[in-house]
Amino acid sequence: MTPVTFLPQLNALAGGLFLLCTFGMVATRQVQGCMRFFIWQSIFLAASAFLLGLHPVVWDLIGVAAINLINKPILIPWLLRKTVPGEVYTRREIDQVLNIPTSLLVSLGLAIAAYLITSPWLRIPAGPSVGVNLPIGLAAILLGAYTLTVRREAVPQLLGLLSMENGAFFTSIAIAPTLHLFIELVVAFDVLIAVFVIGVLTRAMQEHIGTTNVGSLATLKEEPRP
């Protein structure tokens, strides 16, 4: 009963909690709550990368874990705090497009769909944890896209996008463990720039309009004819 035998179960546990955090991002009302679930999701992604890189020691995966641990839980929230004004974080989103129990059921359907879609691919013999990471990563991608559509505030929509990226990484750390460090560095910088741009746009929106409720800013208003 060496600790090595625990590693697949611990990785599966990190995957389960990762999936739970993704559900939490769909279902929480507060913007700050969404941010906290995103932070924990990134920490579990880093944990899974670390655990996968431990047993046949793959330094690329441990590097991926370290970069993710610095980038997503620490740098991105800091950057968002700097660019987006503080009062956006005190918001609760009372209305989403669907109400929360319906959203939860739809997200559950999406997670089951992710498991069903990936089940033919899992018959190909691959690494030991592909059976865990692949479906959960695909579920996080689908749920991130769902968060993007269902939420009306700007910052949770951004976090949905980042959750899609987290999901894509969660899948690829199991499938392609060695080609990774370079791509991770590139994507990490890209994500930081994307967050910065969207943060500055959100600040501009808050200053000009007073609200960041982009879901209701969907139609143009015409000036009345004189």
Residue choice 16, 56, 85, 128 for contact with other proteins (CB under 8 A)? 16
Site track 107-126 with other proteins (rule: CB under 8 A), x = hit: xx--xx--x---x-------
Contacts 24+ apart (CB under 8 A), 73-76: 73/39, 73/42, 73/43, 73/46, 75/192, 76/38, 76/162, 76/191, 76/192, 76/195
Q: With CB under 8 A as the rule, give the number of residues binding other proteins.
A: 29
Asked if 106 interacts with other proteins (CB under 8 A), we say no
Asked if 1 interacts with other proteins (CB under 8 A), we say yes
Which residues are within 8 A (CB) of 46 and not within 5 positions of it... i.e. 6 or more apart?
Answer: 64, 65, 66, 68, 69, 72, 73
Asked if 191 interacts with other proteins (CB under 8 A), we say no
* Cβ closest to other proteins, residue 131 vs residue 160: 131
Smallest distance from other proteins to CB 183, Å? 27
Which range touches other proteins (CB under 8 A), out of 33-41, 83-91, 100-108, 153-161?
100-108
Measuring CA to CA, how many Å separate 85 from each of 91, 107, 201, 202? 11, 30, 11, 8
* Cβ closest to other proteins, residue 17 vs residue 185: 17
Q: Which residues pair with 53 in a beta bridge?
A: none
